[in-house]
Amino acid sequence: MVEFGEWLCQEVLKAVPHRHFIFSIPKILRRYFLYDRSLLSDLSCCGWESLKAFFQEAVPEQGAVPGAAVAIQSFGDFLGFNAHLHVLASDGCFYRNGMFRVAPRFEAKQLEEIFRHNVFKMLLSKGKITQELVDMLMSWRHSGFNVYCGPRIQPGDDQAMEKLARYIIRASFSQLYGTLLTMLNYFFSDRSSWKQPRWKPPIDELPLPRESHGPQPATGPGPTVFSIPLPFGSRISVPPH
């Protein structure tokens, strides 16, 4: 992850202000992305198109286009399935021959409405949802869509940019948690010298997520061992300018 942060800052990102965006969808729609993972790429396009349209409206220059790196993540805080986007985007648009104009202050609520419209349009075109479901969600006081907009990161703040770049491609499990499982597995692997073991690690009693991308216990003799697969949310796409 350190190498990715350095590569992104040195080879991809320009020396302009940037912001961190998080695009989230309601729980009622997440099941469609769970059973059809190809929709994750379409979700990434929805986030990019929303940002592009939003910044082009904020920066009235001919041919203006922002820059963005989009990371798709499919896990939440407790390893439950939660498809969402982390976007590291320029805080403004490029135009003409490499000129850059910073976007004025804006409300993320407007960007949320554009994103919601694009997601509904995409799912309707794929035949995943019906217009009745769209009308129901639109009638809710809180539709479940959310767009987080982080503070502006000034050019030259390489430490903050690299830290953010590592964060958006983080693993779905804590390294400390994985180290603890390894230590417990090693400590309780040899039980031949135990006369009357009074306690064993409750690894097999830990609540596991129902989704296939979480930790799965391996079967067979011996102590319980967990295999941690790579997360699905490690794909990075840099939309073309």
pLDDT digits (tens, 9 = 90+) for 17-50: 999 999 999 999 999 999 999 999 999 999 999 9
Distance from C-alpha of 232 to C-alpha of 211, rounded to nearest angstrom? 11
Distance from C-alpha of 90 to C-alpha of 162, rounded to nearest angstrom? 15
pLDDT score at 181: 52
* 108 burial via Cβ count (<10 Å: 0-12, 13-18, 19+): middle
Q: Are residues 51 and 94 in the same domain?
A: yes
Q: Are residues 111 and 221 in the same domain?
A: no
Distance from C-alpha of 67 to C-alpha of 88, rounded to nearest angstrom? 8
Q: Are residues 90 and 125 in the same domain?
A: yes
Q: Are residues 118 and 205 in the same domain?
A: no
Q: Are residues 85 and 143 in the same domain?
A: yes
Residue 222 clears pLDDT 60, i.e. is over it: no
Residue 163 clears pLDDT 90, i.e. is over it: no
Q: Are residues 158 and 222 in the same domain?
A: no
Task: Summarize the confidence of residues 129-147 as an average pLDDT.
Answer: 92
Closest listed residue to residue 29, CA positions, set 128, 117, 174: 128
**Domains: count for the chain:** 2
pLDDT score at 78: 65
Residue 99 clears pLDDT 70, i.e. is over it: yes
Q: Are residues 74 and 193 in the same domain?
A: no
Per the CB < 8 A criterion, the answer to whether 188 and 201 are in contact is yes
pLDDT score at 211: 45
* % of the chain exceeding 90 in pLDDT: 37
Q: Are residues 96 and 193 in the same domain?
A: no
Q: Are residues 146 and 195 in the same domain?
A: no
Q: Are residues 111 and 215 in the same domain?
A: no
Residue 151 clears pLDDT 70, i.e. is over it: yes
Sort strands 81-90 and 68-75 into parallel, antiparallel or unpaired: antiparallel
Q: Are residues 91 and 189 in the same domain?
A: no
213 backbone dihedrals φ, ψ, rounded to 5°: -90, 5
Average pLDDT, the chain: 76
Q: Are residues 208 and 92 in the same domain?
A: no
Residue numbers of the domain that contains 211:
175-227
Per the CB < 8 A criterion, the answer to whether 113 and 83 are in contact is no
Distance from C-alpha of 206 to C-alpha of 140, rounded to nearest angstrom? 36
Q: What is the DSSP letter of 94?
A: E
Closest listed residue to residue 184, CA positions, set 216, 143, 226, 154: 226
Q: Which of 44-58, 165-179, 180-194, 214-228 has the lowest mean pLDDT?
A: 214-228
